[in-house]
């Protein structure tokens, strides 16, 4: 069973290699408690104190000018806040080795504890997806598509929007296992409401018919007229066209 406090986490960086001088540009964490999202979120833009390669900016849309407009602090000014936010939580991360590697690097530069030393447990949703859907794509976009999660707002890879999507992906991928152990994230009253809500409706044998009013009939007739004109008089919903077809 996971810890009660979970943090959905994501970062954006200047590149792929924390041991070669790349730095964190953006951090986002969304808190959940007993699988329920809370109102606690930490979202920070961070000045990397170095250049941002064009290929990286093309992925997340962050440049030094953008960060300057946001008055982004350097990591040294926010590292303690991030560490305190994460301390003792289960971290839900897609491709966890990447983000943990960058956070550990940034923490080490400040003399702060590592993710492990902060008492965090790490759950990698990329590994979960590869086990759950073997042989299939396991990117965040692919999982959103597979699980019918709307990702239309994801124009760039942004830490906060990726956290929001990952929260939905994680809950969808793990819902069955929690249901099997009694719906670990719901209390008795909520479970009762769920059972009542899912009960089949009682059928009385009477069907209530609501007649269209005059305005609705007029609007319907206007649409049929347009269809009939566009089809050269062959709209089958018009009486004269239907008679000709018969």
Active-site residues: which are they?
157
Burial class (CB in 10 A: 0-12, 13-18, 19+), 213: exposed
According to DSSP, the β-strands at 5-13 and 24-33 are antiparallel
Q: How many CB atoms lie within 10 A of CB 201?
A: 5
Known binding residue 47? Answer is no
Known binding residue 179? Answer is no
SS3 92: strand
Task: List the helix and strand counts (H, then E) for the chain.
Answer: 10, 5
Residues 187, 81: Cα–Cα separation, whole Å: 32
Torsion from C-alpha of 168, 170, 173, 179, nearest 10 degrees: -90
The pair of three-digit structure tokens given for residue 87, joined into one six-digit string: 């301390």
Residues 147, 113: Cα–Cα separation, whole Å: 36
Residues 25, 5: Cα–Cα separation, whole Å: 25
Known binding residue 10? Answer is yes
Known binding residue 162? Answer is yes
Known binding residue 12? Answer is yes
**Binding site for a divalent metal cation: residue ranges?**
10, 12, 162
Binding site listing: 10, 12, 55, 60, 162
Binding-site residues for substrate sit at 10, 12, 55, 60, 162
């Amino acid at each position: 069973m996971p810890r009660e406090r979970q943090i959905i986490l994501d970062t954006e960086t200047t590149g792929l290699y924390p041991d070669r001088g790349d730095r964190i540009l953006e951090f986002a964490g969304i808190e959940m408690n007993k699988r329920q999202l809370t109102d606690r979120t930490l979202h920070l833009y961070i000045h990397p104190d170095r250049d941002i390669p064009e290929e990286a900016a093309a992925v997340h849309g962050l440049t030094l000018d953008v960060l300057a407009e946001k008055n982004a602090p350097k990591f040294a000014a926010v590292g303690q806040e991030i560490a305190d936010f994460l301390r003792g939580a289960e971290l839900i991360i897609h491709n966890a080795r990447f983000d943990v590697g960058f956070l550990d690097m940034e923490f080490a530069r400040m003399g702060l504890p590592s993710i492990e030393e902060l008492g965090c447990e790490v759950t990698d949703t990329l590994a979960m997806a590869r086990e759950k859907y073997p042989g299939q794509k396991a990117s965040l976009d692919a999982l959103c598509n597979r699980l019918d999660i709307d990702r239309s707002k994801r124009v760039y890879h942004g830490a906060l929007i990726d956290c929001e999507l990952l929260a939905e992906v994680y809950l969808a991928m793990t819902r069955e296992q929690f249901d099997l152990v009694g719906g670990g994230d719901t209390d008795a009253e909520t479970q009762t409401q769920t059972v009542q809500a899912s009960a089949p409706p009682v059928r009385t044998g009477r069907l209530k018919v609501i007649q269209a009013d005059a305005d609705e009939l007029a609007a319907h007739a206007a649409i049929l007229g347009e269809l009939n004109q566009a089809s050269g008089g062959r709209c089958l919903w018009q009486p004269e066209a239907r008679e000709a077809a018969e």
